[in-house]
Chain A
Amino acid sequence: MNQNWSRFNIASVVLGFAFLYLPIIILIIYSFNESRLVTVWAGFSTKWYAELLNNQQLIDAAFVTLRVGFTSASIATVLGTMAAITLVRYTRFKGRVLFSGMVFAPLVMPEVITGLSLLLLFVAINFDRGFWTVTIAHTTFTMCFVAVVVQSRLISFDRSLEEAAMDLGATPVATFFQITLPMILPAVIAGWMLAFTLSLDDLVIASFTSGPGATTLPMRIYSQVRLGVTPEINAVCTILIAVVAIGVIVASVLTKRQEIQRRRDEHAVSDERTV
């Protein structure tokens, strides 16, 4: 297929990626700008990063965001994996249509609606707004993303190993933790990471459901962005981009390694069989 990679194909790939990456690269470059005027280059400097360390509000917001992200992503991974198992394995039960609807709808639901509706729920049940309301809100919309990621792995899952384990007398719970979970683990980890970054990223739902003392980093960045572009914000953004990029690259290398290892194991098994 190599000879089919025409000039047109190459041009569209190169232009597409230029479009995707140029704005981010420019943002990163200007975070190292000496001048406060964001669009005038006045020499290299890391002073805006040093200034961040003095911005206590921003640091507090970063910790809130990390706590919300860890907690909500962890709960969402458990719930989302259960939802994926339900969708793939239990094809017949009452209310399945409603269930799959509730799993897929949040993927495209506008955030303003999710945020407003959850806030009104919390007010109706007199739940004090703060850390837990944001966490519950994030769990609800991210678990659906986890479900979709895990589901795609479960569909292409060879069930014969599970059956073998059950035949040998393993209980369903033991089979799940010793056979199923290790095999779908890359998807579960990918789901957790997706949930975590979606939570780190969310402005709209957090703004609706948050309360005093639970201002997240996107909420803080947003209130500063509204006042204009500043090099400090560029610096915060650059740090966030770097953290996410490193995370994604490390994760993809790890899953690739695991994939290679798995293939090797499978080969080893089939070789033994042929011998």
Chain B
Amino acid sequence: MRNVAAAINRRLVILIPYLWLLVFFLAPFLIVFRISMSIPVTAMPPYEPVFDLSSGWAAWLEGLRELSFENYVWLTQDALYLNSYLSSLWIAFFSTILTFLIGFPLAYGMARAPLTIRPMLLLLVILPFWTSFLIRVYAWIGILKPEGLLNQFLFSLGVISEPLQILNTTTAVHIGIVYTYLPFMVLPIYATLEKMDHSLIEAAQDLGCPPIRAFWAVTFPLALPGVIAGCMLVFIPAIGEFVIPDLLGGSQTLMIGKTLWTEFFANRDWPVSSAVATILLIILVVPIVFFQQMQARAQERER
């Protein structure tokens, strides 16, 4: 009797979150895919053929015959979309490298810090992560503006004679991404470095290995899983970033998240924005699956 109850419990524990994710995470992607092949019309909802999930599978399948690839053809014809994808990938890639260059020494320094202050340092890295993303991006507007604090500061030092134009450029977007995503880079790297057995380095040095070579031969390879995890956590979400290019990048920075947003909210073209999202998802599937596999493997190792 108790085994039956346990089996039911077990099934409920699996089924409830499973169904929730199927309905609210997976099913929406199918709908995006479906609407990306519809035709925009001025109505509500603004696409055709309209379908209603309540009319059942037969109607859904019937609708499939009316679908067209027109939106995808449109995406290849207007250079805006291709440029947005390429520039998003480039900005995300370059920002990830910058974040790594700042994040690694920080994580390394934290892992080497005296044991007593390490929890405090960890809290200090986590704290900004809990602070609103929007606020952290907003904070940079006042600093980077032509009459902003950075320019005032450089001006008073006599380094520059006229204000630098940083806000509304790609540079500002890089700064924004590095700043907001830094904790995502630091935390996984710190986690691997902290677990590292320091006697390995001492052994290498005892055997006559200079510190810098010991770092590249021992420390870095051991930290690599953390480095890869950190880079994925920055790179993947940065590609689809909207808030940073919108507030810091101005009109001249193209990023796909912003293009999708404009297509949806300003042009009210739901089918084209669905097509943009579908292509973005296809680009991201490879890194996301890789990330997920890596997480699963890390979890296996910890058992």
Contact = CB atoms under 8 A, between A and B. Distances in A.
Nearest to B7: A172
A201 B134 contact: yes
Nearest to A83: B17
Interface string A206-229: 011000000000100110011001
Interface in B226-270: 232-233, 236-237, 239-243, 247, 257, 260-261, 264-265, 270
Given A23-B139, A124-B53, A225-B141, A104 B291 contact: yes
Given A27-B139, A82-B16, A21 B128 contact: yes
Contacts of B114: 1-2, 5
A99 B209 CA distance: 47
B257 A10 contact: no
B221 interface: no
Contacts of B9: 172-173
B274 interface: yes
Nearest to B246: A226
Interface string B30-65: 011001000000000100000111100000000000
Contacts of B152: 39
B17 A143 contact: yes
B141 A39 contact: no
B213 to A, nearest CB: 16
Nearest to A122: B28
Interface residues of A, number: 95
Contact of B133 (A109, A151, A201): A201
Contacts of B270: 120
B77 interface: no
A126 B183 CA distance: 39
B152 to A, nearest CB: 7
Interface stretch (A52-60, A239-247, A267-275): A239-247
A125 B24 CA distance: 12
Interface in A78-132: 79-80, 82-83, 85-87, 90, 93, 95, 99-113, 116-118, 120-121, 123-126
Contacts of B14: 82, 86, 90, 93, 99
A225 B5 contact: no
A84 to B, nearest CB: 9
Contacts of A155: 299, 302-303
B106 A5 contact: no
B110 interface: yes
Contact of A80 (B17, B18, B110, B139): B17
A183 interface: no
Contacts, number: 269
A183 B255 CA distance: 45
A86 B299 CA distance: 13
A160 interface: no
Contacts of B302: 155-156
A117 B112 contact: no
B10 interface: yes
Given A85-B13, A102-B21, A27 B142 contact: yes
B292 A110 contact: no
Interface string A1-20: 11011101111110111011
A173 B115 CA distance: 40
B149 A248 contact: no
Contact of B138 (A21, A27, A85, A95): A27
A112 B242 contact: yes
A102 B28 CA distance: 13
A109 B14 CA distance: 23
Given A111-B242, A112-B277, A116-B273, A105 B115 contact: no
Nearest to A247: B130
A103 B21 contact: yes
Interface string A179-214: 000000000000000100100110110011000000
Nearest to B133: A201
Given A23-B136, A82-B13, A113 B280 contact: yes
B182 interface: yes
Interface in B164-216: 179, 182-183, 186, 198
Given A117-B28, A126-B52, 9 more contacts: A9-B105, A117-B277, A125-B53, A126-B54, A172-B6, A201-B132, A204-B243, A237-B139, A245-B130
9 contacts: A1-B114, A9-B113, A21-B124, A82-B14, A95-B18, A109-B237, A120-B28, A124-B52, A125-B53
Counting from the closest, the 8 A-B pairs by CB-CB distance are A110-B240, A117-B28, A16-B106, A12-B105, A9-B109, A13-B109, A23-B139, A83-B17
